[in-house]
Structure 1
Amino acid sequence: MSKRKIGYLGLSANIINTIVGAGIFTLPALIAFGLGAASIFAYLFCGVLITLVMLCFAEVGSKITDSGGVYAYIHNSFGPYLGFLTAVLFIISAIAADAAVTNAITEILSSIFPFFKPKTIKIIFSFVVFFGLGYLNIIGIKESIRFVKIITIIKLIPLFLLILLSWKNINIDYLTIETVPDFSQIGKMALLLFFAFQGAESALSISGEIKKPKKNIPKAIFISILGILILYILIQTIAQGILGNDLPNFTNNPLSQVALKIAGPLGYTVLTMGAAMSMLGYLSSESLGIPRVIQKAAKDNIIPIKKLTDIHQKYKTPYISVLVYSSLTFLLSLVNSFQKLAILSSATILLVYLGVSLAVLKLRKNKEQEFSEFKVPGGVVIPIISSIIIITLLCSLTRKELVCLFTVVGILSLLYYLKKR
Structure 2
Amino acid sequence: MPTGTLLYAQSGGVTAVINATAAAVIQAARARKVPVLAARNGILGALREELIDTAALPASTVRALGQTPGGAFGSCRVKLKSLEQDRARYERLLEVLRAHDVRWFLYNGGNDSADTALKVSQLAAEFGYPLTCVGVPKTVDNDLAVTDCCPGFGSAAKYTAVSVREAALDVAAMAETSTKVFVYEAMGRHAGWLAAAAGLAGNGPDEAPHLILFPERPFDEADFFARVKAVVERVGYCVVVASEGIRTPDGRFVADAGGGQDAFGHTQLGGVASHLAGRVKDALGYKVHWTLPDYLQRSARHLASRTDLEQAQAVGRKAVEYALKGMNAVMPVIVRTSDSPYRWKVEPAPLQAIANHEKTMPAEFIREDGYGITDAARRYLQPLIRGEAPPLYGRDGLPRYARADQAPLPRKLPEWAG
Tell me the TM-score normalised to structure 2 length: 0.28
- Look at both structures and tell me which one has the larger radius of gyration over its CA atoms: 2
Higher relative contact order (CA 8 A, sep 6+): 1
Tell me the TM-score normalised to structure 1 length: 0.28
Higher strand share: 2
Higher helix share: 1
